[in-house]
Amino acid sequence: MHSLPLLTTVAVALAYALVGGILARRVGLPTIVGYLVAGVALGPFSPGFTGDSQTITELAELGVILLMFGVGLHFSLTDLWQVRNLAVPGALSQMAVISVAGYFIASAWGWSVGGAWLFGIAASVASTVVLMRGLMDEGQLHSPAGRAAVGWSVVEDLATVAVLVILPAIAGQGGQSGWQPVLMAAAKAVAFLAIMFLAGTRVIPFVLDRVAFTRSRELFVLVALTLAIGTALAAAALFGVSLALGAFIAGIVVSESPFSHQVSADLLPFREAFAVLFFVSVGMLVNPSYLAAHWTQVLVLSLFIVAGKALLTAVTVFVMPHPVHTALVLAAGRSQIGEFSFIIGQAGLGLGWISTEQYSLILAGAIVSITVNPLMFLLIGPSERWLRSFPSLWKVLDRHGIAPPLPASMRDHVVIVGSGRVGRHLAATLGEQNVARLVVESNPHVLRKLQALHVPVLYGDAANSEILQHAALPHARSLVITVPDDASAVAMVKAARELAPNLRILARASSWHGGRQLLDAGVQHIVRPELEGGVEMVRQTLIALEFDGEEAQELANAVRGSEA
């Protein structure tokens, strides 16, 4: 009886999000802007079809869980350690200053004490999704400045998770005095962390290993979903911590497994779909009438987020000190708020610290700042040139000089997709010649053999671009695809070309038609094993018939040319 309204609401929400996302991309904006606007159109404050906000909100919780699980999966303590001198003090000091400034702004608007602090914290946290998109669009993701920005974002995310842990304890103090509820909440969180890192790091990789050996894609996807959602629910029910924290820690634990990249790739469609519903649910809470009546507050908040955070970030980096380019990239990337701000705002709604109208104001600040953020990245070059026009000022600001390149996990290596007979021989030969190589393999049995031989290996299906993102293709010397399936090889080539447009790619082709498809996709050199075997048979037969060696080779080459 209730399935039709549910399906209708979800179908309409996804359709609205699709239209919003397409329109946003057509005008050069992040798709998240389109999803938020779609939510506004679908919400109860706008004319037309009104979605069931309760249904969308419940489904959106899955989006929060999968988003946080994905953040945990990509968390790298090594990368954070490399930029710790900038990311840790910079992120924490900026969050503190912005939170205090936001508190005074909200207090002047008549917000409650708790609501004002939530406002400040929400304004201090930038969207990792928007940041990564901006860095990728500008080609800065793997630069020293880009990696510093990502490290800064990770520190902010961790600090926000800590805030989400203690918020319910502070709100629920009731008749208890002092920090007892907060300490109790912290103790429960520490107990959860201890169990996850002591027991979970052994149990979860073991479970993934066992399921991977079934060679069932469905079972692997199911166990990944179960780990993400089950851990989050168990953490909330047994330890009283937030769903977000439970999912985040589960992602960190899974990231220690060699199967983590495939888990991330398999959950990507679910994460994207439910994250869309999350952003739509957020937009449904926006009251356009309230924002129109309080347009001055929207303007002040937008300027505070875009200009205030950008200026404070740049000054912080200058003081530390770091190169001007790093300061400008960080300033552009941090001048917006996003998904964590939404989660904080929803926590405030649940605690009764802010009203729906006040939450609409936070959402409006997010929409404006995310919309403007691509323009902030476009200002990096002109700003740097303008500062250079003042030599004395430039000398003071850029006293640190050019940032040294950060160490990459792999560089100047050959990526080999598939470790069958061809891939195995190639990997062995390159190893003997001391050529760095990385094998991408989806067979867990082969994975173990390669690990036993100390061959660098990345587990996962290379036809998925999420996997190839971890192969450091922009820094590789070449990519060799040895899989016999032409369709999969074409998908791999297209994904590789997106990540590394100038990479030299060699591929195996099973047919003439498949070879043409691979060449059209961007492969420089094609090898057809069946053809080469036939050509060699022709050559050996002619030699056995006492043909001259050179003549036999020419006739064999003619056969090869006729099949090209």
pLDDT digits (tens, 9 = 90+) for 408-429: 457 789 998 888 877 888 888 8
pLDDT score for 464: 67
Of the candidates 125, 196, 200, 131, the residue with the CA atom closest to the CA atom of residue 164: 125
pTM to 2 decimal places = 0.64
Q: Which long-range contacts (CB under 8 A, 24 or more apart) does 377-386 make?
A: 377/134, 377/137, 377/138, 377/332, 377/333, 379/332, 380/138, 380/325, 380/328, 380/329, 380/332, 383/328, 384/324, 384/325, 384/328
Whether residue 528 is predicted with pLDDT greater than 80 in this model: the reply is no
Of the candidates 152, 144, 158, the residue with the CA atom closest to the CA atom of residue 335: 152
Whether residue 441 is predicted with pLDDT greater than 50 in this model: the reply is yes
| Location of each CATH 3.40.50.720 domain in the chain | 414-527
- In this prediction, residue 560 has a pLDDT band, given cuts at 50, 70 and 90, of low
Mean pLDDT of the chain: 80
| Share above pLDDT 90 across residues of the chain, in percent, rounded to a whole number | 9
3-class state of residue 370 by DSSP: helix
Please give the backbone phi and psi of residue 415, each rounded to the nearest 5 degrees, phi first.
-95, 125
Using only C-alpha atoms, the chain has a radius of gyration, in whole angstroms, of 27
pLDDT score for 455: 84
Mean per-residue pLDDT, 81-97:
85
- In this prediction, residue 101 has a pLDDT band, given cuts at 50, 70 and 90, of very high
pLDDT score for 523: 86
For 138-175, give one letter per residue: b (16+ CB within 10 A) or e. bebbbbbbbbbbbbbbbbbbbbbbebbbbbbbbbeeee
pLDDT score for 299: 92
Residue 258, CB-side half-sphere exposure with 13 Å CA sphere? 20
Whether residue 142 is predicted with pLDDT greater than 70 in this model: the reply is no
Please name the residues in contact with 381: beta carbons below 8 A apart, sequence gap of 6 or more.
none
Mean per-residue pLDDT, 472-491:
85
The fold for domain 3-382 equals Na+/H+ antiporter like fold (1.20.1530)
Whether residue 514 is predicted with pLDDT greater than 50 in this model: the reply is yes
Rounded Cα–Cα distance for residues 93 and 364 (Å): 25
| Share above pLDDT 70 across residues of the chain, in percent, rounded to a whole number | 88
Residue with tokens 């875009």: 306
Q: Are 279 and 35 in contact (CB under 8 A)?
A: yes
Mean per-residue pLDDT, 203-214:
83
| Location of each CATH 1.20.1530.20 domain in the chain | 3-382
Rounded Cα–Cα distance for residues 224 and 260 (Å): 9
Tokens encoding 339:
């998904």
The more confidently predicted of residues 95 and 291 is: 95
Indicate the range of 137-141, 282-286, 297-301, 470-474 predicted with least confidence. 137-141
pLDDT score for 428: 86
Whether residue 1 is predicted with pLDDT greater than 60 in this model: the reply is no
The fold for domain 414-527 equals Rossmann fold (3.40.50)
Which of 177-186, 449-458, 529-538 is most confident?
449-458
Tokens encoding 73:
């999966």
The more confidently predicted of residues 138 and 502 is: 502
Q: Are 320 and 94 in contact (CB under 8 A)?
A: no
Q: What is the CB neighbour count within 10 angstroms for residue 100? A: 13
Which of 7-16, 238-247, 552-561 is most confident?
7-16
- In this prediction, residue 175 has a pLDDT band, given cuts at 50, 70 and 90, of very low
pLDDT score for 181: 64
Mean per-residue pLDDT, 383-387:
86
pLDDT score for 77: 67
Q: What's the distance, CA 349 to chain centroid?
A: 27
Which of 73-77, 88-92, 150-154 is most confident?
88-92
- In this prediction, residue 404 has a pLDDT band, given cuts at 50, 70 and 90, of very low
pLDDT score for 305: 93
Whether residue 176 is predicted with pLDDT greater than 60 in this model: the reply is no
Whether residue 401 is predicted with pLDDT greater than 60 in this model: the reply is no
Whether residue 220 is predicted with pLDDT greater than 50 in this model: the reply is yes
- In this prediction, residue 190 has a pLDDT band, given cuts at 50, 70 and 90, of confident
- In this prediction, residue 563 has a pLDDT band, given cuts at 50, 70 and 90, of low
Mean per-residue pLDDT, 421-450:
83
Mean per-residue pLDDT, 282-290:
80
pLDDT score for 303: 94
- In this prediction, residue 4 has a pLDDT band, given cuts at 50, 70 and 90, of very low
- In this prediction, residue 47 has a pLDDT band, given cuts at 50, 70 and 90, of confident
Give pLDDT tens digits for 303-321.
Answer: 999 999 999 988 888 887 6
pLDDT score for 405: 46
Give CA separation, 111 vs 125, 246, 309, 359, 509, in Å.
20, 31, 21, 11, 66
Whether residue 96 is predicted with pLDDT greater than 80 in this model: the reply is yes
The more confidently predicted of residues 551 and 111 is: 111
Whether residue 276 is predicted with pLDDT greater than 70 in this model: the reply is yes
